[in-house]
Structure 1
């Protein structure tokens, strides 16, 4: 009797079914794995069109926030709003500091989105009417923008220009024959010039002490005052009755006695400074020596300013003269006046101040010249604040 034959299934189709099942299982696992990660969800939405709108928005939002965190943007700089008619359903406004870089933040957001499979779909920049700079980015995947990002940076605040310290030149005067007082003042560390009258008994010693202490010297010419000789500037006074050659010779002699000299000033001279002939002789010598003339307490009818302009001599006047306060027994009046002087110096930017030399001045100056007391004012050499000649 013939044997019955069993039907055998084809081997190749069976293998194909097994392989296909394995692939479906693998693909399903991969899809499941992708669906569990932000990057996978974005890629599924981009390649397969499989995405839930709110979930995709949340995923891309996390990526943008990560970029902001990495860029050091504080949480309070972000303002989130829902937009009905905008290019995306959500608008994020990010406020930057005025010194922050829009370019760097733009780059950080773009790179983070690309790594997650999303992208910046478009971008534009502009400037508001108030000078703020902004960059607007549209983020998401092609065909499905999820976020409108507005990166805004306020205009840079213009830093106020640092105002240089005011320059103040001090000139101490009125030493008379007080050589001990002069020597005690010369050794103080404060920068100041000294005005010395020639012809007195101690003048030569004072000139020497000043030069030894590297002080600028102002030569105070003894000039005839009104009511001379009842009011007497001292020996060697230049009088209006003198011939011009004698006046010029006297000025030359005094300069040679005191040199080097930074400037020449009047000592008294309320009458002489009103006399055109005498002052012309004085200026002839100053012009030859290229020395400025400092007019202390000018008389109402003085010709010195206009004559200096005509003859090309540098002319200047003290901005303040502290004569009364240094005569007090203590420094209170001097402290109060000095405070006013410093305020005025800060306002003007430069000043020349003459201060009478007294024992009170010596006690006061040591403290008043400290940097912490000056507050925005530098004590400078006299020659650095002298004005140029100007027309009358």
Structure 2
């Protein structure tokens, strides 16, 4: 039978076990420590989660030129701007053309942008291609150099719209009795309108010569007047007060047949009939049906002819000034000046004269005033409203 170990024997046998436990504990804690360090490095670990290693991003500085190009684009400065090199050091040089007022607002924002980029700026005033300019010599953090030149465009001057052109029409009545007077009018070299008495001796020939020389032709329709001058009622083709519609139309048609190339009609005398609608209405109806215009000679201030014509839808106008004089050419010259001044005020004006020597002389000597007053002479049809 085996005897029980003594206390001394038991004590001596426990040492190897203790050493084993000690070494096992050291090995365990060493493994734990190594695993923890492995996890801290971001490598695979068994007991601890791996730590993600944060990598710092490497920021590449944006070149100064790109910063400025982007600023110009976002500020609405449109291409093209001109890029080149500074002759002195070969650095980039950008020239931008823009209105002066745009530069003032752009300047503040650009200064703020460059401060944020920690750049230094030196400014100089000068001239660039004939324009006032500001040169910005810019130096960046990395000693980048760049010159930005603002060439300032002067504000456009507002050009007022041209004033409406003043125009006058000059009409010479009572034509057809003298070819010499017609020649004098043609020799004026101006767009004159002549009104031909339909029963005059040279009515047809006058109309043809005038047309060939670029003058405008009207028919000068005889009408009864209030003053009953001697011979008034004996005028051929005269339309009288109280005349029947058919008779009125017949006389107007006959008169037009004697005046070729007529583009309009005005009244010869007629201070009585131009106050009477029953007489004027058939006259105006026929004129309208022929596509002609009507000019009221205004031989009386009581005339209804112009207003009636407009109500009936005719192209119509009325005389503003008489040019004739019985006291010499100075009076007619003043009337020409009055005509030009009226045209300047109203835009248009119409004058009537007769082939009297004084009137024709006044025209020869004073039509040069048209240019001085800035007034354009035109044919009657060009001045009468559509």
Q: TM-score, normalised by structure 1?
A: 0.60
What's the counterpart of residue 240 of structure 1?
Answer: 241
In structure 2, distance between residues paired with 1:199 and 1:125: 73
Q: Residues 1-392 of structure 1 correspond to what in structure 2 (within 5 A)?
A: 107=82, 111-113=84-86, 116-119=89-92, 128=101, 138-143=136-141, 151-163=151-163, 165-175=165-175, 177-228=177-228, 230=230, 232=232, 234-297=235-298, 299-324=300-325, 327-329=326-328, 331-370=329-368, 373-374=371-372, 376-388=374-386
Structure 1 range deviating more: 293-302 or 360-369: 360-369
Deviation (angstroms), 1:201: 4.3
In structure 1, distance between residues paired with 2:201 and 2:305: 29
TM-superposition CA deviations, 1:109-157 (whole Å, max 9, x none): x63438624456999978749x978666642322378999665443111
In structure 1, distance between residues paired with 2:303 and 2:346: 26
Q: Tell whether the 8 Å contact from 1:263 to 1:292 is kept in structure 2 after alignment.
A: yes
Deviation (angstroms), 1:368: 3.4
In structure 1, distance between residues paired with 2:196 and 2:96: 77
In structure 2, distance between residues paired with 1:372 and 1:309: 30
Q: Tell whether the 8 Å contact from 2:343 to 2:349 is kept in structure 1 after alignment.
A: yes
In structure 2, distance between residues paired with 1:214 and 1:380: 11
Tell me the SS of whatever aligns to 1:219: strand
Aligned CA-pair RMSD: 3.8
Q: Tell whether the 8 Å contact from 1:342 to 1:374 is kept in structure 2 after alignment.
A: no
User: Structure 1 165/229 Cα, relative in aligned 2: closer, same or farther at 3 Å?
Assistant: closer
Deviation (angstroms), 1:259: 1.9
User: Structure 1 122/265 Cα, relative in aligned 2: closer, same or farther at 3 Å?
Assistant: closer
Q: Tell whether the 8 Å contact from 2:169 to 2:349 is kept in structure 1 after alignment.
A: yes
Structure 1 range deviating more: 145-154 or 297-306: 145-154
Q: Tell whether the 8 Å contact from 1:274 to 1:302 is kept in structure 2 after alignment.
A: yes
TM-superposition CA deviations, 1:66-121 (whole Å, max 9, x none): xxxxxxxxxxxxxxxxxxxxxxxxxxxxxxxxxxx9988x73xx634386244569
Tell me the SS of whatever aligns to 1:254: helix
Larger C-alpha radius of gyration, 1 or 2? 2
Question: Which runs of 5 or more residues in structure 2 are unaligned?
Answer: 1-76, 111-134
Q: Tell whether the 8 Å contact from 1:193 to 1:217 is kept in structure 2 after alignment.
A: yes
In structure 2, distance between residues paired with 1:198 and 1:127: 69
Q: Tell whether the 8 Å contact from 1:118 to 1:139 is kept in structure 2 after alignment.
A: no
User: Structure 1 358/132 Cα, relative in aligned 2: closer, same or farther at 3 Å?
Assistant: farther
User: Structure 1 372/246 Cα, relative in aligned 2: closer, same or farther at 3 Å?
Assistant: closer
Q: Tell whether the 8 Å contact from 2:100 to 2:154 is kept in structure 1 after alignment.
A: no
In structure 1, distance between residues paired with 2:95 and 2:165: 52
Question: Which runs of 5 or more residues in structure 1 are unaligned?
Answer: 1-100
Aligned length: 281
Q: Tell whether the 8 Å contact from 1:179 to 1:202 is kept in structure 2 after alignment.
A: yes
Q: Tell whether the 8 Å contact from 1:132 to 1:155 is kept in structure 2 after alignment.
A: no
Q: Tell whether the 8 Å contact from 2:170 to 2:352 is kept in structure 1 after alignment.
A: yes
